[in-house]
Structure 1
Amino acid sequence: MTLSEADVIVIGGGTGGYSTALRAAALGLRVVLAERDRVGGTCLHRGCVPSKAMLHAAELVDGIAEARERWGVASTLDSIDWPALVATRDDIVSRNHRGVVDHLAHAGVEVAYGSARLTGPRSVVVEGYGEVRARRGIVLATGSRPRTLPGLVPDGRRVVTSDDALFAPGLPGSVLVLGGGAIGVEYASFHRSLGAEVTLVEAADRLVPLEDPEVSRHLTRGLKRRGVDVRAGARLVETELVTDGVRATVRTARGEIRTVEAERLLVAVGRAPVTDGLGLAAAGLTADERGHVAPADWSRLETAVPGIHVVGDLLPPPSLGLAHASFAEGLLVAETLAGLATAPVDYAAVPRVTYSSPQTAAVGLTEEEARNRGHEVTVNTMPLTAVAKGMVHGRGGMVKVVAERGGRVLGVHLVGPQVSEMIAESQLIVGWDAEPSDVARHIHAHPTLSEAVGETFLSLAGRGLHQR
């Protein structure tokens, strides 16, 4: 295949882009995927995969302390071999990258490595390849980059973003994290596990402010118990670079001025869509004030220019900027371009996970969102320590279910150990509009943490056993 023409041109090889390309190719379409760096995008190379590898290592470190302090196992942590830890992380990333590259090749996707820009509603110029025309459509999947704050210029050592925090040299003895969303909380948790003194500053009045307040409370309690200095409702006033790190002035929620010194400052205040050099105007498109390219038709993720679709971080809310949502968006767009009947992405049923210690996982509406939308709700909350396996773990946590009174489940919210692996059934419960009585008919294994989910639904269905 030459690059001069294809059925579909995908700009950006991250999760949204390569999933679009693979599905379109599987449906018999000829696909060109333009990527200016490495396929896999931020998630594979700088975000989801390497950060979760490091968080797994952090879990192992935490387990050594728990074995000694709680279970009478005479264990000690002699040292952390940082180069060995990094080598394992990089091997995981490398093997995943090779897998994606091989998968694309096997599927017949032509990958054009170079910057790409739109030259019209059906044409793209790829650096080093020339112009490519799309018979069916173009998919924009250029992803996002970290936002920063005025005056904070990342240098990869003292001031870092989520893109380079994992790759900064060595382990810092102290870290100031700006931003209490999922990314900031995960990095705060990781560095604390590996021995750093951590201050976590969030401008909103609570951590993970988009989640249910009870999730925030349990998460904050867990982080504080581990020694993280959590400062919600606080703002950065100014920063100064010093020889061995940064000196920051922070205004607390009470209006007090506090000076925080740390070897490293991690800026985790969100991400911005990447549209520079994309040539949106040449195709008749514009970005909104935050840089997103909004679809005119959310059921097809198609823009106001017919045949140009958007997936991933370029999308505004209700898209969530999550890798697994991007996979679903890629499948939808590929099938739309192939002429198949499709169903829109149900963003309410997309799970949201924070992989800190403790973890959080949620799907659907918070209690406040449900009430604000006019639902008359019934709510049940159960601590994980109310079931035997929760006592075994001994790290607190909870299950919270929000349901319509006499109707379907609207949201499920979890905090605690390994809840990222427990959210899948709740995704189905919310996505399939199940009622508590539907769930209560099914038996959860005993003893497991997921048993607490089952017990919560049993109580809502009027059949509670262990919950008062």
Structure 2
Amino acid sequence: MDETDVIVIGGGTGGYSTALRAAALGLEVVLAERDLIGGTCLHRGCIPSKAMLHAAELVDGIAEARERWGVKASLDAVDWPALTATRDDIVDRNHRGVAGALSRAGVRVVPGSAALTGPRSVRVTPAAAAQGAPVEWTARRGIVVATGSRPRTLPGLTPDGRHIVTSDDALFAPGLPVSVLVLGGGAIGVEYASLHRSMGARVTLVEAADRLLPLEDADVSRQLTRGLKRRGIEVLTGARLEAAVPYENGVRATVLTPRGTAQTLDVERLLMAVGRTPVTDGLDLAAAGLTTDERGFLAPADWSRLQTSVPGIHVVGDLLPPPSLGLAHASFAEGLLVAETLAGRTPRPVDYDAVPRVTYSSPQTASVGLSEAAARSRAGDDAVVVNTMPLTAVAKGMVHGQGGMVKVVAERTAASGAAEPSSATAAPGPTPTPAGRVLGVHLVGPHVSEMIAESQLIVGWDAEPADVAQHIHPHPTLSEAVGETYLTLAGRGLHQH
């Protein structure tokens, strides 16, 4: 039995960030990973999907150039092997970068499947028998469980990698389908619907809830739905899959609409994006005295340190239940928190309200903080003030021509006005006196994923509109719509009436 300071189980974003930070703080770290360092995000999710969405944006740009700007361009074809080769090169370079960083930091990476054998011990079985016998390690400081998640599937639907696929293997299915049925209107489903539409597929997007992105602000859902429909995507909300029968060239699916009518769709590909489920198989949590909750999550007993009910065993990433968000950048923060805790420091707990949420579709959405409904639920209707501004109200928004909005939710001060716009379609009016602390910011439109960082700081630092309004946003940019929104909430409205 070998000893080390910290054992990390799982080399995804949460696991490898824990390992890197712990090593930087002088701890000896062993990282066990049974697949590839980087996990789902790097190899099957965030990075390859955003690479493909960038290619999709280029395809859309050709159509916009021709149809809107008089640039007589045309798309001859999409060279699928060349496109995927570029995607794979980006993934490979990132993979080598992470592996190199771990090596330079002195982290010992052990390929194989890890199982707990006690509250401070782990057995790692090599991936192949030829690599040797299992090795057991004990941790002087603690164990970090970061085994991630896998796509949830629906009963009766067996992924085949070609006609029925999950979000993990959709990018690697052969060729471009002519038609796609996407099940699930969360961020992943919306992104894949957007991607396939850009590539020329006929797309139907089905969501069981009454709106897309049901966890986001209702105005975000409305703006996004409008934008997707404008692009020719059929959006069915409040709908569910009744049946799906594979055949030689595709899938025949029956969808029950909110009106109770059955709609039959013949599609080349059915893509399941109905959420993800935690991965704990093979961990033998019981050997350390741990159990998962009814949903399969490994909940911490102490959220401030992400420590489980067993002292010295911590959890990060997709194994965490809400309020954790199952987002890679949240996993990085969780990894830093746990590593610093194991090193004897007292880091600030993760503020999940201040973690940005982005959907990389066309149009994009980006949010941080509370939705209008959540803010009113927490504070009361009379304690909240809202201002919404369309992106097309500024010149750069007109240049892009994709619509969109900026919506800011803030606390109402004693004299900050009796009425305010509460939706993207309402006519905004100036607030007589400054609003209070900013509770949430919601953006829809082109490139808003690159605009949300400012709002993250505003929400995270409990800033007020008057704090933001004194800073000058560049003109002409999309970001000046954000600045104008704060000017109005600060009682200094300029162009917004």
TM-score of the pair, normalised by structure 2: 0.93
- Match of 1:210, SS? coil
User: Could you tell me which of 130, 133, 136 is aligned with 2:135?
Assistant: 130
Q: 1:254 and 1:180 mapped to 2: Cα distance?
A: 19
User: Could you tell me which of 307, 311, 318 is aligned with 2:312?
Assistant: 307
Counterpart for residue 9 of structure 2 = 11
Letter in 2 for 1:84: A
Letter in 1 for 2:404: G
Letter in 1 for 2:173: A
**Bigger Cα displacement from structure 2, 127-136 vs 241-250:** 127-136
Does residue 210 of structure 2 align to residue 205 of structure 1?
Answer: yes
Aligned-pair CA distance for 1:242:
1.2
Does residue 460 of structure 2 align to residue 455 of structure 1?
Answer: no
1:22-33 equivalences in 2 (<5 Å): 22-33=20-31
Aligned-pair CA distance for 1:62:
0.1
Counterpart for residue 162 of structure 1 = 167
Counterpart for residue 281 of structure 2 = 276
Counterpart for residue 425 of structure 1 = 454
1:149-298 equivalences in 2 (<5 Å): 149-298=154-303
User: Could you tell me which of 470, 478, 481 is aligned with 1:441?
Assistant: 470
Q: 1:455 and 1:164 mapped to 2: Cα distance?
A: 42
Counterpart for residue 130 of structure 2 = none
Q: 1:146 and 1:451 mapped to 2: Cα distance?
A: 39
Q: 2:49 and 2:390 mapped to 1: Cα distance?
A: 28
Aligned-pair CA distance for 1:254:
1.4
User: Could you tell me which of 67, 77, 81 is aligned with 2:79?
Assistant: 81
Aligned-pair CA distance for 1:243:
1.1
Q: 2:377 and 2:494 mapped to 1: Cα distance?
A: 32
Deviations 1:144-173 (A, max 9, x none): 000011101101001000100000000000
Q: 2:263 and 2:391 mapped to 1: Cα distance?
A: 36
Aligned-pair CA distance for 1:374:
2.1
Q: 1:369 and 1:242 mapped to 2: Cα distance?
A: 45
Q: 1:307 and 1:413 mapped to 2: Cα distance?
A: 38
- Match of 2:242, SS? strand
Q: 1:185 and 1:437 mapped to 2: Cα distance?
A: 35
Aligned-pair CA distance for 1:253:
1.4
Counterpart for residue 388 of structure 1 = 395
Q: 2:303 and 2:444 mapped to 1: Cα distance?
A: 32
Letter in 1 for 2:272: V
Letter in 2 for 1:126: V
Aligned-pair CA distance for 1:76:
0.2
Aligned-pair CA distance for 1:184:
0.1
Counterpart for residue 348 of structure 1 = 353
Counterpart for residue 329 of structure 1 = 334
Q: 2:437 and 2:68 mapped to 1: Cα distance?
A: 41
Gaps of 5+ in 1: none
Q: 2:346 and 2:36 mapped to 1: Cα distance?
A: 32
- Match of 2:379, SS? coil
- Match of 1:373, SS? helix
Letter in 2 for 1:66: E
Q: 2:115 and 2:478 mapped to 1: Cα distance?
A: 49
- Match of 1:402, SS? strand
Gaps of 5+ in 2: 127-133, 414-435
Q: 1:94 and 1:137 mapped to 2: Cα distance?
A: 31
Q: 2:149 and 2:363 mapped to 1: Cα distance?
A: 27
Letter in 2 for 1:146: P
- Match of 2:144, SS? strand
Counterpart for residue 59 of structure 1 = 57
Aligned-pair CA distance for 1:256:
1.2
- Which stretches of structure 1, 4 residues or longer, exceed 4 Å deviation after superposition? none
Counterpart for residue 416 of structure 1 = 445
Counterpart for residue 105 of structure 2 = 107
Does residue 409 of structure 2 align to residue 402 of structure 1?
Answer: yes
Deviations 1:347-377 (A, max 9, x none): 0000000000000000000000001112410
User: Could you tell me which of 90, 93, 96 is aligned with 1:92?
Assistant: 90
Q: 1:178 and 1:100 mapped to 2: Cα distance?
A: 33
User: Could you tell me which of 370, 379, 383 is aligned with 1:374?
Assistant: 379
- Match of 2:353, SS? helix
Aligned-pair CA distance for 1:255:
1.3
What is the aligned residue count? 466
Counterpart for residue 432 of structure 2 = none
- Match of 1:289, SS? coil
TM-score of the pair, normalised by structure 1: 0.99
